[in-house]
Every structure is written in C-alpha cells, then in structure tokens.
Structure 1
C-alpha cells in the first residue's frame, strides 16, 4: 500500500514534521512493506515556515525583529526562488506575550499594547532579499492592532507619532494616517495573506470579539474599546476592506496586508499547492492526517478538513490521529473522515503528554493492523 501521512502540528507537544515522522515510524513496525510518504502540513500558523522548508527546500534566512512588546525576537523566513514565506507568529505570536497569573492567558493588558511591527520588518527583509512574492502565514498571533504595526514598519506614518506601533491602546489616539510610503515599499511585490480564518476586521464576528478573549482581552469593556480603536483605523484607511474575508485574521493583520494591495488565500491551500498535495493524494491508497485536538474547528478550513476534502474526490479513504478527539463518528464521516483515533484513549493522558512522539507512534502501529493490507 501507498500511505500518505500529512498531519498538522500537535500543538504544545509535536511539530508537524515530528508528528509525521512518528506516525510513519509506528506504521512501519506493523507494515514494513508499505510505501509511507510523509508530507507535514500547516495552515498558516506556527510551523508554517518549517513545514514548507521540509517539503520545498530553499534558503532559511535569519533576522532579528521587534517582538509584540518591543523586545528583540529572533525569526526566520524561507526564500524559494523569488517567493518568500513568512510566519507571523515568529514576530507577534501569542507565545511571545508574558503569561498571566493563571499561566493560561497572557498578562492582562498585554494584547492591548502588542504590535505587528516585527511582521512588517520580516516582510521588508524578504523584499530586500529579492522576493517578488511574499506569503505571510497568519495564525497564533498575540496581537490585535489591525496590522497597524506592519504598515508602520514598512513606512506608514501617523499622527500622533507612535499611534501605529502601540497596539489598539495607541490606535485609540490615531487622528491621521498616510500609507503612501508603505505602498511604495511593497510596490511590485505580490503580498499573500495565508489564513484559514475568514472573519472580517470589525463587529461581532471581527478580530476582537472572536479572538480577543484567547489573547487576554476578556473584559467586555476592553473588547469594546479595542474594536473601537480598529474602527478608527479602518475609517482613516479603508473601511471597505475591513469587511473582506480574512481581514480579521491574526488580530487584523490580514487587514494590514489588504491595505497594501495583498490578497487572501486559504493557508491550507497555500501549503497544499506548494508541495503538490493533490497529486500525492491521488496516488495514495490511504491518507492519514491529524492534529493535537480534533474538534469542530478542525472541520472548517483546517488541515484535517482540507486533507479529507482532497481525499474524497480521489476515492481515497482518509483517517485521522489526534491527541484527543471531540467529534462524533457521524460528524467525522460527514466531513470525509472514515475514522479517528485519540492518543489519550489508546495510551492514556499521562503517556500522551509525557512521551508524545512514542505515544503517537504506538497509536500508528496499532491503527496499521486495521488499515494496512
């Protein structure tokens, strides 16, 4: 059999590359004669650059940029020919914010001060390296500034000075905005926002109200103030673009890219096209995907649903392995997934978190007894 192994990361425990290798290792223990091909996947969030580098090769270039709260942040971007791939989470990720008292959410108020300036610096580095197409993976952000920091790093100016670089807290004071220099800086460069999120910038389905709580903006009043700050930005920049799909991705970083003439692509599709995934699926007898927690979000635009969507028309069964499975069999099959296997159910919670690679390999070894010929 030809087995295609294409998982997302198992957040907090395994990268997509590590997960793919673990599944392949376990599968081969049971079925050593199967042809197992690993293609780690991502949808634009953390791991975006590493996954593409593992599949495409290219040159990884290092840069030190401004983190979300102004501290130096080491980052890399991938250059493949004239295309650069940038992972926004490396410059403005949730993991870069100081933890709050409970360790689960960021420090209160941090997201209101956090900036995407470092993402703009990464885009500038990519352009200076010769890229004429820059794909920015959006996901896992700790910011909510509407991409104001991004455009500032590329040359946009404001009144008062600094209103673009201090998060929504500073945007509340914004009175004037000039994007001309930023647009000149990226003239002739194709900008792509790679995201699985289709939320607009503002309102009930916007960046602040939907994603703000996971960044520590939990108080109703704080969310109202942050959304008002983004509204001020949109009124001075381009209110029409605020309603576009993906404008609210990564705390509105998608909107910043749209302001510079960028366009949105599904993060999964970006990676799938880059690695030639449709052809690999068509040539497989079985597709295996997975992620840390398989839940309702996995069924909409994520790697798991994307793989299932490719496998169905190819008449190839698709199964999933995950740390935990929170979706019923009926919903799984309705979304093209024949079966899902949870590490916590098979090897236990303690083993799954304590030895994730070994646990995932053990699950794959067991699943191969059912699915391999």
Structure 2
C-alpha cells in the first residue's frame, strides 16, 4: 500500500461509513442497492478507477480496484455488485472496439449505467461451452433467444455482457460476447428477483430473451467466436478479486469478533481471556496475513502479465476456503448471539458460503491446479 493507495482506501472507507452503513438495514430489506449509491460511487472514482482517462475514468492500476473491494468487504458488505460491474467494464476495455469503448465506458465510470454479466443458465452452471442462449445473424442484427439465471445486478442492469452462441453447432468456438443495452428492448424481460441465503442486498435475477434484436455492433470486438477466449483471458483477474473479497471479509470477521469477546463475559471473565478464544483468534490473524501476502504476490504478477490460471485458481479457492473457516470460528466465539441477524457476524457467515461456488467452484479450481501438475 503506497500513500496513494492509503488515501484512496481512506476515501472509500469514509464513503461506506457515511453512505452505506446508515442504510444497511433498509437496503437489505429492499434486496437492492439504489441507483443513487452507484452514482455517488461514480463521483468518487470507485467505478472508473481503472478506466483510462480518455474513456472517462481515472486511469489507475488495478491495485485501486482491489482497494475498493477490500474496503467494501472490510465494511461487512458483499451485496453491492461492484465487482461484477467492474468485471463487465474490463471486458469492454480489454476487447471492445474504440467505438464501443467511447460509447459505453464513460457511462459505466459515472454509474449512469449499471453492468451485469449474463453468463449462467439453468442446467449449465460452470460449463460455458454448453450455453443454449443463441444470437443468430439476421440482416444487420442479431436475434437473441434464451434465458439466464443467478445474474448479479440483473434487475438493475442497463448493460449486459451476454454470453451466447453465435454458432449453435460449435462448442467453445461458437461462443461470443455481446453488449446488450436493456432500455426499451423488445423481447427482453427480467424475471424473478431470486431469494438467497446471503448477499441479500444484491439484486440477483433471472433474465429472458425472446427474439430480442440488437445491432451487429453489439458484438464485443470485431469477430464472432471469440467469447470463450475472452472469458478465459479475464478469469485470472476475476478469481484474484474474489480472493481479495475473501480477505476483506475475513478481516471484518476478526475485527467484530475482537470487539465482541473483549466486552462479553462468561463465568466471571471476558471471553477474550479464555485460552481457546485467544488461540482461535491467533489462528485467524495468521491465516489473514498469509492470505494477504499470497494475494499481493498474485496481484504483482497480474500487473506484469505473469499470473497463470492455476495460480489464480489457488487464490480463489484458498481465499474462499480460508474465509469460510475464519468466519465459522468467529461466529462460534459469539455463541448464540452469532446466530442472530442483528450481529454482523451472522451476515458474514451467510455471505461467505457462495464464495466457494461462484467464479468457478472450488472443485474446479483444484482440477485446474492439478492439471498444471501433470506435466513431464
């Protein structure tokens, strides 16, 4: 963390303390973060930190996005779909034409437009080659048919990075990404806002496409069949940021648990004074330090273009596993109060579980790592 990183972190932390924390309970009940919060984040530079200045951003390194994810999760939130918005932004930045970048990135940087990634489908899960949503050329348009589920920011999205088959007969080479603007789009509909175990402030929705027509300029890049390649190129960053979100949530869990055990008494003394408590907290603090050091190494390698898919997979699965272990132990130290919704540790526990599932399940992460070891 340089002085610039710390200054940015302080700014983001104040933003969450002043604008998010007073509204935590209401937004949880609403199941959605209001658009005004997105726009405030845009004004602060959180949404456009890594977008080049020529496209309306601040032109900073991805270290600054990392700072935002850490401050969000250290504040005890993982419901706001910031990471998905920024991942979608990076697809356009990495693979879009100049026209596409100038058209969409400025609005994504300010929060005028909210982005989602329409990838997962009922029955396909992590198997991106098996998507059934199609985008077939008809004149100068694509006609889209299909459905998506578990879409973060789905109900509020103005822009979708849509994974579809432009060649239904091909496997990975038939996958393309399209940028779909949802406003007044005939045939497009948002279905149920899904009820989840955790991340209740996030509007996770089902999407449907019934003969939706978009111009051919919606194709991300200039060539069909590049979608699978584009997805694979971005996955190391996506999986690394999940590791950082796990780190921030773990730091938050340790912080609130320290506060609790210093005040709570049992059998005539502070819970903090029991050896078991001290040992469990010592273990958590050590795991956090080890995870932080590994993630920072990965981030440096990412910036140098050296981060391998298998090392990013390590960051994702180890980070999420560590998070779940730490949050579970911290909840245990809260006793019965840890099971009560009014205590933040309860929310952290419910939010943590999905970390081992999305972004590629931890079982798939281990398979990717194992394949890299099977080399003569």
More helix by share: 2
Shorter-chain TM-score above 0.5 = no
TM-score, normalization: structure 1?
0.30
Structure number with the bigger relative contact order (C-alpha 8 A, sep ≥ 6) is 1
